[in-house]
Structure 1
Amino acid sequence: MPDLIERLATLTRDLVALDSRSFVSNVPIATRIESELLGFEVERLDYLDAHGVAKRVLVAHRGGPGGIAFSGHMDTVPDTGWRDDAWSGRIDADGLLHGLGSTDMKGPVAAAIVAAQDLPTAVPVSLLLTTDEESTKQGARIIARQSALVRLAAPWGIVVVEPTSLRPVRGHRASIAFTCVATGVQAHSASGEGRNANWNLIPFLAEMKTVFERLRTDTALQDADYVPPFSDFNVIIDNHGAAFNVTVPIATARIKFRYSAKIDPALVRDAVRVAAARCDITVTEAEEGRPPELPPDHPLVCLCVDVTGQSATTVPFGTDASELQVIASCVVLGPSDIAVAHKPGEAVRLSHLAAAVPVFQALAMRAAPHNPKGDVT
């Protein structure tokens, strides 16, 4: 165990020390991870994100086809609110490793890599290592659409190692991001010559509040299998730095709508589009894959329940499973607690990472007899 803790500490600390916020290049962290993948066939998939930033995702495989693929993302949220060094990787005397992304999800990624390294070489195992999960999920889409190695590996199931306190998550919500833009004419507000874009945006947002309230109150639009049962419909507003004595030339509302598999998003999508047309608002939409959700008796869910001894659940947040589910069935299961993610002072307990390693290995060993069609051989 001390050797395992030390390996996990070294790798997690190295990953945390590399700044991989979604708006910067993740190539350095991908290079560090690839150095751990000796003995694996490795496929690099490089791309430029929408802002022209170089990104890289990795697919690694060892053994024959089938088995389990472990998936995690390399990027992090911004370091908003941090007062100390967000990339220190500092380890307390009690084994708590501090740093941005330590829980979500560089520590769990390190645990998956170490678990895969120590498996017998004949056991089929894959690693699907993405980026841009915290923003667009483009990395997962690149793997799903372009990876030749993942098609050859043909995993029977995918375990997304997001922090769940090692409780299997059989389903989660997915999202549609609406970017709603009103345009005006910029001028000194006292001149009477300008047109403030907010006067178009405000009535649109009033209609969106009605949608928000209906999602909270109409049980026909809710899913009792989730906590909370209602879909998220969250708005942020941006006047792009306009001063208060200027008629606003551009006003943007960004709305994130999260929904589960039982909810038809058409009602919300149509409500946004109709209100936008009425208020002269331009709307663009960025939609993830359908919400991934497996039944409680699915073989992958049952395997994860059996190995962990914990019942399966659902969660309101999203993961790369919304994009990776086209490759194979997905369960979300990883060490640490999502409640500490996306916060200043994020940290992960090394003993929790160490506890995940035998769990991941047991999943891979138990899934090994499954061929690419999912039959037991």
Structure 2
Amino acid sequence: MSLAVRLLSELIGFPTVSHTSNQEITEWVAKRLASFGFECEQTRYLDGEGVAKFNLIAKRSPHCSTSDSGKLSEPGEDGVSANSGEGSVVAPENQMGVAYFCHTDVVPADRWAGPGGKAFQPVLEGNRLYGRGACDMKGSLAAMLAAVETVKQEDQSAPIWIVCTADEEVGLRGARELVRSSEAYQDIVRHDPLTLIGEPTELQVVYAHKGMSGFRVVSHGRAAHSSTDEGVNANVSMIPLLQTVLELHERVQSDPMLRDDRFDPPTLTFNFGISDHAEATNIVPDRSELWANWRTMPNVDGACLIDDAKAAAEALGLEFRGYAAVAPLETPIDDPALLRMCQLAQQYGADQKPMTVCYATDGAALETLSHRVVCGPGSIRQAHTVDEYIEVESLESGVSLFRDAIQAFAMK
């Protein structure tokens, strides 16, 4: 069994569904990296449900003092702590360093149907390693850990960072918190290295992806027994808004100003739903909720949809709430770091030109970094499935590509 397969098997064993704490896996990764000379910052925050979540930034400079090398910082009372220490080697002009980003949370696995019957007990069957997170995206983290363990610190000429965030699957909360509060993240910004977001792309190089925007509308009524006339059905006020929402749904399919043909599909892919949460037919519903969202693109944000929906909702006396938007990602297609990654990835079957994808990643929150590239082993088609897996061949190719990237951007 290869190092990458062993590492991934251990990572799968941490049941890091987003609503639970990711403390154990974060500490496991930090201790492993510390043993290879990385300085680590862990930051802690509480999510909306009061669960403790952890982000990790591990950095290895070309040369570190013995007193600092591998020192592990613990989060303080404010949730933030950091080690400082600058490398003593000046990198060649074409070597900017590498910052690898991944998330440690996974989607729920309540309906798991993979081999073995247990989502967090990895199963190697043929050329596939099964388990929740095998593809999205613990396989990528295992590949980077395996790659960096073969790189000697004395051969580095620029820094290497490995960043693990929480809560990517639930609104990029961890990455947003990292950008907001981490001094170690600001160190990455000052260096502005190749920023490698290791999501599963089958090792294709992605330069742009969609974001997300949307809104929620609430209609308030008054509950009562349905045999009386004392209730106010919240659905009544909501019904007229449905016509507006239907028109918006149709508009994003037909309006040429709301398209970007670099993406497939090239539209905002408007989606919506409505519920009054009724549990019995003899109770007048006192609350009706409508939600709508769409996938934004770098040149098409759909702000006009929010304006139209808000005006219609407020005219009906309904409560309107806009979502916290997730920005799309776009790195200039002629960015030198992007083009170099395309050259490296070609050896592993990737296309010569970078591509676009329609999902979002933590990269959307990293707007202060200039050279963002999404690339990693595994296929998005296996992500979030009831029998999630990664092909071992893809995993091993990911190790090789990540090693090549480190060699190109951070080694002598």
TM-score above 0.5, yes or no: yes
Distance 1:176 1:80, change over 3 A: farther
Percent sequence identity is 30
AA matched with 1:346: E
- Aligned partner of 2:177 among 114, 121, 142: 142
CA contact (8 A) 2:252 2:268 kept: yes
Render the CA deviation track for 1:132-186: whole Å, top value 9, x for unaligned: 1111211101222222123234241211000000000100011124232221111
In structure 1, what is the equivalent of residue 144 of structure 2? 112
AA matched with 1:21: V
- Other structure's SS at 2:59 match: strand
Q: CA deviation at 1:62?
A: 0.5
| Structure 1 residue runs of 4 or more that deviate by more than 6 Å after TM superposition | none
Render the CA deviation track for 1:208-249: whole Å, top value 9, x for unaligned: 111111001111210011000101221233333532221112
Which is further off, 204-213 or 282-291? 282-291
In structure 2, what is the equivalent of residue 239 of structure 1? 276
**Matches of 1:272 and 1:329, distance apart in 2:** 36
| Aligned residue runs from structure 1 range 1-377, under 5 A | 5=2, 7-38=3-34, 39-64=37-62, 66-83=96-113, 84-92=117-125, 94-121=126-153, 122=156, 123-153=158-188, 154-309=191-346, 310=351, 311-368=353-410
Which is further off, 158-167 or 148-157? 148-157
Q: Kindly report the root-mean-square deviation, in angstroms, between the aligned alpha carbons of the 2 structures.
A: 1.9
Aligned residues: 365
CA contact (8 A) 1:29 1:74 kept: yes
Render the CA deviation track for 1:110-141: whole Å, top value 9, x for unaligned: 11222223223125211121111111211101
Unaligned runs of 5+ in 1: 371-377
Distance 1:342 1:304, change over 3 A: same
CA contact (8 A) 1:222 1:230 kept: yes
- Other structure's SS at 2:180 match: helix
Q: CA deviation at 1:279?
A: 2.8
- Other structure's SS at 2:204 match: coil
CA contact (8 A) 1:144 1:327 kept: no
**Matches of 1:300 and 1:268, distance apart in 2:** 36
Q: CA deviation at 1:287?
A: 2.6
Distance 1:147 1:279, change over 3 A: same
Render the CA deviation track for 1:190-223: whole Å, top value 9, x for unaligned: 2221112222223223211111110011112100
Render the CA deviation track for 1:279-331: whole Å, top value 9, x for unaligned: 33222223345311122211122011111112210011100111013234211
Which is further off, 361-370 or 10-19? 361-370
CA contact (8 A) 2:41 2:57 kept: yes
Unaligned runs of 5+ in 2: 63-86, 88-95
CA contact (8 A) 2:98 2:196 kept: yes
Q: CA deviation at 1:32?
A: 2.1
Render the CA deviation track for 1:39-71: whole Å, top value 9, x for unaligned: 211100100011111100101111257411111
CA contact (8 A) 2:4 2:399 kept: no
Distance 1:298 1:138, change over 3 A: same
CA contact (8 A) 2:296 2:327 kept: no
- Other structure's SS at 2:213 match: strand
Distance 1:283 1:33, change over 3 A: farther
AA matched with 2:5: A
Give the alignment's TM-score, normalised by structure 2: 0.84
Render the CA deviation track for 1:66-105: whole Å, top value 9, x for unaligned: 411111111111225324322121111x131111121111
- Other structure's SS at 2:226 match: coil
Q: Which of the pair has more CA radius of gyration?
A: 2
